[in-house]
Chain A
Amino acid sequence: MTSEALLSARGLRVVIDGLHILHGVDLDVAPTGVTALLGRNGAGKTTTVKAVMGLVPRTGDIRFAGRDVGRLPTHAVVRQGIGYAPEDRGVFAGLTVAENLRLAERDADPAYPFVYELFPELRSRGRQLAGTLSGGQQQMLAIGRTLLNANRLIVADEPTKGLAPKIVAEVADVLARVAERVPVLLVEQNLALVRRVAGTCTVLADGRTAHQGDAAELLADEEAARRLLGVGGGHPVAASSIATAAPAVAAASAATATATATKEAP
């Protein structure tokens, strides 16, 4: 898997204020589809993602698309082609929705048609202050920002955290569609969502990599899932809400496909 991984980290360590938070994380992100980063609370998932992005001081080897990015500052990492939607969404509350998007523009020709196709509300609410959006809308904005540029990887840290089940289903749809275009590294606690979208997964425990492999296999193995994640199967509530949303997904992904086609035509 290492040879073909889009992003691979080896022996990632993070020390903040004298506290060792990561002791040696190995992570491989598959070049297609969704790679899930799992683990119990406090296992070091968010820190791992931040270390990859250069948002916390880190040591270890990080390679992205064959390039060493382990010593690059955050903005340079991002410019390698990584879109990042952080845990707390990271939208600028005092800026309008349109300004939030404008700030994220890196390419000469940002993919506004695709983003607005996916999230029509971001267009209609363009002049609204992002701080007045609902949690779900803010998450759409955070994901929309990563899709403006021709990124080679999207990193989404707990995009469904704190959202109502119906919104969780919408986010799941979006992630599934995004993953058709560009590989995704997904930090997620919602295992039903993981089961639906993720191909491979990495499990962290106490700041170390505890398991790497196929996501569906892991979640099918009740004993392993309980041992590594502290849970049995998926959450029934979340699972059902995603199931009911499924028909909408099919319709929407057709629209996405058209949008993608028009975008890439010229």
Chain B
Amino acid sequence: MRRRTTGLCLLLATGCYSGNQVDAAGGTDASGVSSADGTVGETGVDTEGGSDTDGGGEPSACGELPAPGSAPIRRLTPFELDNTLADLLGDNTSPAAGLPEEGGSGFDNNAEVGAVSRLVAQKYMQMAEDVAIRATTDLPGLLGCDVAAPDCVRSFVSDFGQRVWRRPLEPGEVDDMMVLFGDARATFDEPTSVGVLLEAFLQSPFFLYRVELAGTDATEAVPLDGWEMATRLSYLMWGSMPDDALFAAASAGELQTQAQIEAQARRMLEDPKAQRMVLHFYEQWLLYKNLDVIAKDDGVFPEYGSDIAALQRQEIEAFLNHVIWEGEGSLEAFLTADYTFVNDQLAAFYGIEGSFGSDFTRVDRPGQAAGVVTQGGVMSVFSKPNQTSPVSRGLYVREHLLCQIPPPPPDDVDLRPPEPTEDSTTRERYSQHSEDPACSGCHVLMDPLGFGLENYDGVGRWRDNENDTPIDASGVLAFAGLEMEDEAFDGPVELGAKLQLSPDMTSCVARQWFRFAYGRTESAELDACTLAQIDQSFADADYNLRELMVGLTQTDAFLYRPGGAQ
């Protein structure tokens, strides 16, 4: 399957409302669409066998030398800190819960924005102190030896140091830690003094940042060293620190070839830790994490409270877990699966008959469900408190699923949703709302997609009628790829099927993963090779979402660091 992608340039050329700020240069990536030119070579990366760098088969966007793009230093996110401290010390108390939200470009791990303020530094300090207190309650268990025994603490510093800083400590670093311990012992008891060591380890940049120093004195791109690669792999696949096997591979120099790295990636995907990481990607991309904060109008949706919102979160997570890990893992199932997952309480809320128990169980919804496109939680998030919102839903499809950023609405327009009435449908009200030519130029991008989802009410329940009028869920998917015709559809199931055909959709999945995996936004120019590699491997794998993750480890951006200090 060979597809070409396009940007919003085509669309802007057609005049998404004139008079507003659109790309005066005629439309390029600067207009807000994140897509490479999509040109890929005739030969692709062999994701099955794992080609090495000398094996040829690079997309034509790649030159002779590796082109990894930029590699800004990455600070562990609260999510990664919680996971890491759980794996490192068995601390499952979510120690990073109080840290502020940070990030950009859709993801909390964006390395290009954010700074550590004094307040955040203090929160790191408090976190380290709290973790240290819990970790030192069982000192022999932590140290693995009697604290008073000769070299017990020194061997702990050396062994624990390698795990917490994700690399072997230099002899001088061990010595420095022992000096700190000795100073502490002059005042404090043994548990407190070991706690001081933990506090110093955990506030160090060698813990809080993913330090990569390979290539800092080179002029050309260089491969990462084994410890750095182990860390890249573990935070990509697990959102956490490397395990013993990865450390062993790093130590043995077995994280050097693409095949070795691919084999590790495949091993890691089998670990349950990959599931939480993958869900962390999807909760941000599909924005269903907002189920934690949405509130509905009690007068209109009295049955919908935070309990239902939480169940809808479980529903979509059960669905994603199934599609990605148990099912075929295909983009097709992701967008078109005619089933979802419910338990008794959620089924009762949806009006689905049957007995499901308290655990989430698959239920077929032929003619109604279209994968994540119609997930109840997503429908609830992209609705108004008292009704649906074809605009929000359409914009969601456009921005999140197609990676197109339409221009902002012009100033001086009524953005207030039309009030529901008993003798009109939402479609009627919104259609009238967007009749203004100043609006309709752009709303053609959103509203027809949102209308296609009108069978789902403002809290994600299926409906055939609204105010006794049958739902009209027909629409057109336009501007979804350079070589894709406008596709008419009727209802959410057909919308999901058409989206699955969109080259911008497949390209968008890859770009969202790029941003999340590499902690930065793609540069069409500097990352052309990596983007082509991802697109190629995704296509070669017939758009398999698991294989996409493996493919992310086989790119120039992942395998190399740019020459020179960043």
Partners in one complex: no
What is the interface of chain A, defined by CB distance below 8 A to chain B?
Answer: none
What is the interface of chain B, defined by CB distance below 8 A to chain A?
Answer: none
